[in-house]
Amino acid sequence: MSFFDYRQFEEDAKHLQARVTDLTSKEDQTPAERDEVNSLMGQIHALEDAAGKVKEAELVELRASIARGTAVSIGEPVVDPQEAARAEFYNYLKTGRIGEIMNTSLSTTDANGGFLVPEPEHAALIELIRKNDPVFGRATVFNMSGDTTLMLPYKSGHGVATTATETGARSEQTEPVFTSPTLVCYDYYSDQRATQTFLDGVGGAEGMLLGWMYEDIMEQAGADAVSGNGSTKIEGLFHGTSKYTTQFSGAAATVLNTSPIKLYFGLAPQFRSNAVWLMASATLATFVGFALPSNANVPLCTVDGNGVWSMYGKPVLETDSAPALGAGLYAVGFGDIRQGYAVGIHRNTTILRDPYTAPPYIRYYSLARMGGVPWNYQAVQIMRCATV
């Protein structure tokens, strides 16, 4: 049984396509509408791709069921292996009896062992948190295996191209320049505990606690993708001050209403179409109080019906992990995060349930291995609060 329904993806894509049709039918589109069309087309392609993958997964499951001879039996449902594992796990929690499936999930991660929790229902939660994260949700994601490091070359300088007549001589040209940031994954873990009395006395406590742990891991990784130091944790986008181009705000410890223009036009045109602003909420509040430099009656920032702020037609993503305004601090980022930042997922989040090592508490140890690094240094610019 697939966790997602491909028909829902197709239905969502259909609704977005209707909006695209409305916008493209206009004779004169505003820049904001053109940007919306580009964004919607990207979402449509992603939904269609997801629908195709889910549909193919369902076909694979169906073929496997037929091969086992268990596909079509009226009144006798096919048992999903993940659901069976989860059901036996919860049966173990209530009875303490270990069956065949539970034995296969016995872990030796801890000196005294424990059980890896089968968690198919939290996959949607993890993906939702990732997609809603301002950096993790827009970065290019590399699913890594084996080594915890990955070289990410990109062309940082153009090779020389020249012209010649049909029979003219051709000289050797200069090759392009490649830069290769290294994506390093780090262990993100959380070791939390609860009494068996609490777990028995509160309905759904086990699932609620596991959900919180997944959130804690992903939220910390997302915060580090913004401002992590790259030493013992993910290297955040705002840590790339020696890599991305820096613009100055024009004021010693704050920003001016002319500050965003420097970032906007400092970014190469090919990166502007999918560019976004990234800043703390307090920094956005400062910009909201400004008017356009050329017209004191027009606000610098606008907000749409969904509460999403924008400047110069580009969305503002709020994250309180971004540096605050202050002398010498890098408080605003602008660019195409998909091209300018890379995320690596080496190990998806798992939770080990250990009832042995910390009585009377049940110990839950969650672990994920993730990384992040500034990638194409031309695709993002950062603003420093300084005059020069």
Q: Does a structural domain hold residue 161?
A: no
Q: Does a structural domain hold residue 169?
A: no
- 60 and 137 housed in the same domain: no
- 60 and 95 housed in the same domain: no
Least confident of 147-156, 242-251, 263-272, 369-378: 147-156
- 66 and 140 housed in the same domain: no
Q: Does a structural domain hold residue 379?
A: yes
Residue 226 phi, psi dihedral angles, 5° rounding? -90, -50
- 16 and 90 housed in the same domain: no
Q: Which of the two residues, 76 and 218, has the higher pLDDT score? A: 218
- 149 and 222 housed in the same domain: yes
Q: Does a structural domain hold residue 173?
A: no
Write down the pTM of the prediction: 0.69
Residue 378 phi, psi dihedral angles, 5° rounding? -85, -15
In the structure encoding, which two tokens stand for residue 94, read together? 């209530």
Close Cβ partners of 47 (under 8 Å, ≥ 6 residues apart): 9, 10, 12, 13, 16
Torsional class of 230: left (φ above 0), alpha (ψ -120 to 50), beta (otherwise) = left
pLDDT in tens, 222-256: 999 999 999 999 999 999 999 999 999 999 999 99
- 60 and 125 housed in the same domain: no
pLDDT exceeds 90 at position 87: no
Percent of the chain with pLDDT over 90: 39
Alpha carbons 369 and 4: distance in angstroms, whole number: 25
Q: Which of the two residues, 36 and 296, has the higher pLDDT score? A: 296
- 190 and 274 housed in the same domain: yes
Q: Does a structural domain hold residue 165?
A: no
- 250 and 194 housed in the same domain: yes
Alpha carbons 224 and 135: distance in angstroms, whole number: 10
Q: Does a structural domain hold residue 293?
A: yes
By residue count, the chain amounts to 388
Alpha carbons 261 and 35: distance in angstroms, whole number: 18
- 206 and 345 housed in the same domain: yes
Q: Which of the two residues, 163 and 44, has the higher pLDDT score? A: 163
Rounded to 5°, angle at Cα 139 from 210 and 309:
90
Residue 359 CA, distance from chain mean position = 37
| Domains contained in the chain, number | 3
Most trustworthy range by pLDDT among 24-33, 159-168, 293-302: 293-302
Question: Average model confidence (pLDDT) for the chain?
Answer: 82
Residue 55 phi, psi dihedral angles, 5° rounding? -60, -45
In the structure encoding, which two tokens stand for residue 203, read together? 């309905």
Is there a contact between 189 and 164 (Cβ–Cβ < 8 Å)? no
pLDDT in tens, 6-57: 677 777 878 888 887 777 777 777 877 777 777 777 677 667 777 776 666 6
- 70 and 88 housed in the same domain: no
- 294 and 217 housed in the same domain: yes
Sign of the Cα pseudo-torsion (212, 214, 216, 219, in order): negative
Enclosing domain of residue 320: 119-155+178-388
Least confident of 51-60, 72-81, 219-228, 359-368: 72-81
CATH code of the domain covering residue 201: 3.30.2400.10
pLDDT exceeds 60 at position 299: yes
Rounded to whole angstroms, what are the CA distances from 156 to 42, 184, 314, 341? 25, 21, 25, 14
- 58 and 150 housed in the same domain: no
pLDDT at 108: 46
DSSP per-residue codes, 234-261: -B-GGG-TTTSEEEE-SSSSS--TTHHH
Helix or strand holding residue 334 (H, E)? strand 330-335
